[in-house]
Amino acid sequence: MERDRARSGSEGQADRPPVETAAPEQPARWSAVGCGAVGLIAILVGAALQIGGLRLLGVTLNPARIEPSDLLLATVLQDVPIALIALVLARRFLRAGPADLGFAWPSRHALRIGMLAGLAIFALTLPLEIVQRTVFGSPEQSLVAAFQRHRGLQAFALDALAGVVIAPFAEELLFRGILFRGLRQRMPLALAAALSAAAFVVPHGTSVALPLFAAGVVLALVYERTRNLFANMTAHGVFNLIGLTLSFIAVQ
């Protein structure tokens, strides 16, 4: 009897129609216009606030004369509003919160990737910078020129706060967390990395186009691998810190 009961149970299960499981929902793609609007508005407003704030305070952005404290002020006036505006507009236009952009507690593995990527970016961009200067005769980036004129540990600390902490935070949020991620939703990795790297070059100027394009590609790959903005900020910060440290040592 038990055998008959088991057999009838298995036959009953076989007669039942298969249960259809719903396919996992694909995350909604961000609006292309929204991504562009977030980036453009954040950059324009940040630049306007920097220019207006410096004029109001009587500070001139002359790389030959700017003091470390003024350079830090200029960075804060521009990059902090850029980051805040980007976060607010990403929520408004893209329906993307901080976690969607890549703000999550980083694992040790992600931070390790960031540190190694920062070293790799420096090794990659150093010969490209030499090539750019040799072939195109590009002048030195104004920010780098300002760093090289600063002396003392206090100046180094202020420059590091501006170039290693604040600037990477805003730039990685904008160019990787929003722009690259939005592009990646629509196109292959190589094309999304190249386009976001090209956009990364624009506000820095053509004098560093080749090395910064390469840096932008590597940073896009870091984001693709980790999906964590803190890993990107680590990579960007390590890269800037190496250059800043070498400039500091050279002028002492």
Domain that holds residue 127: 31-251
Within-domain flag for 100: yes
pTM of the complete model: 0.86
Residue 50 placed within a domain? yes
Quick check: is 90 in a domain? yes
The answer to the question of residue 113 being in a domain is: yes
Asked if 242 contacts 161 with a C-beta cutoff of 8 angstroms, the reply is no
In this predicted model, what pLDDT tens digit does every residue of 104-158 receive, in sequence order?
Answer: 999 999 999 999 999 999 999 999 988 888 887 766 666 666 776 778 888 899 9
Residue 141 lies in a domain: yes
Total domain count for the chain?
A: 1
pLDDT in tens, 26-69: 467 898 889 999 999 999 999 999 999 999 998 887 766 788 88
* Six token digits for residue 146: 């300002």
The answer as to whether 199 is a domain residue is yes
Tokens for 128? 């490209």
Residue 16 domain flag: no
What is the spatial distance between Cα 240 and Cα 208, in angstroms, rounded to a whole number?
Answer: 14
| CB environment 132-169: b (16+ within 10 A), e (fewer) | beeeeebeebbbbebbbebeeeebbebbbbbbbebbbb
Q: Mean pLDDT score of the chain, rounded to an integer? A: 87
Q: Which of 66, 74, 225 is nearest to 150 (CA)?
A: 66
